[in-house]
Amino acid sequence: MPAPETVEAVCAVAGAREARAVPEGKTRVAVLMSGGVDSSVTAYLMMEAGYDVVGVTGWLIKSGSRCCDTGMIDAARVCEDLGIDHHAVDLRELFKNEIIDQFHESYARARTPLPCSLCNTLIKWGALMNYGRKLLNARYIATGHYARIVDTESGRRLCKAKDEKKDQSYVLWGLTLDQVNSTLLPLGDYDKGEIRDIARKAGIVTADRPDSQDLCFIPRGTTTQEYLANFLTVEPGPLIHTVTGQVLGEHQGTFNYTIGQRRGLGVAYSEPLYVTSIDPEMRVVYVGPKEALLRRELTASFVNWIMPSPPAEPFQALAKIRYNSQAAPATIFPLAEGRVRVVFSEAQPAITPGQVLGIYDEENVYILGGGWID
């Protein structure tokens, strides 16, 4: 992660213009806008709630992309229609160095990254939050994420959205308590259908814009493997059965595989095979039966706790190992140097290095923190 002074330096040269004064009696909120319907409705809801709203969009891709080409234009148009200022912040160098290059490096080390989560931490709640605070005099930032921030007796807590299918609390594990206290997430109490209805009734031009499903820096129509082949050297190696040790064939580069993968292995066998582990240094991809994917334990590093003080003793919680998985009962063992060991009550399939560990309370309401799976 970049040093804080690096992020501040980016903000200082990001194309800032003088912000207008905050109207008397108003609280300013900088709404981070991608040009999609969610962030557009967020800006509208913040205005309806009486805030002084400024739209902010990060310019992230050097060569242009579908999100940056159309997203900034759509965000600017929504802001114009709503009668609010719009700021485009040039973060292309930071995004390349900290998100795109990290994506390539992760696959080279046989780790399956989650760049959207890293982008939340470094770009949205890093550079753009600093931009809003320091240059726009914003008290809060607001985003179109489906999660909630609620006030409790012990302070503000980050928790899951009303719409379980859209809940995005998992990718917000990296927020600090200070950031939570300076964030508004108005969409957490709605489902997606309700948001589109609000957009249509308000006449927001992005009301029917399709949701983005892919990584913003991978060209449309290009697979992850096709994209990575432009940056990583293909080094063939053996496909080995993890149980029998039999060499089943040859793979075309370890970066083309991820834990749990079944399709595209290029070998015929008497039963379905899955990628069970990858050794990039020895250039070996191990495959085996589905039960060979099961693990009861993991460790995670760079752990962030969204609570007043980090836990020091083992505790019971629910742990989530990928965006689309269910949180499962586990014992969490805090370790030194910002790490944790997690022991699940029941073995979990395809625990994948490089993905996010999300830790929730036993009622599966609040996200307590998370880390990067080792």
3-state secondary structure of 135: helix
Neighbours of 330 (CB within 10 A): 26
Cβ pair 7, 91 in contact under 8 A: no
Is 119 considered catalytic here?
Answer: yes
Q: Nearest to residue 320, comparing CAs of 168, 190, 191, 188?
A: 168
How many helices (H) and strands (E) would you count in the chain? 10, 17
Cβ pair 138, 29 in contact under 8 A: yes
Q: Measure the CA angle with vertex 211, ends 209 and 215; round to 5°.
A: 130
Choose, from 11, 67, 79, 119, the residue flagged as catalytic. 119
Is 116 considered catalytic here?
Answer: no
CA dihedral 277, 281, 282, 286 (to 10 degrees): 10
End-to-end CA distance of the chain: 17
Q: What DSSP string runs through 179-218?
A: HHHTEE-GGGGS-HHHHHHHHHHHT-TTTTPPPP-S-TTS
Residues labelled catalytic: 119, 216
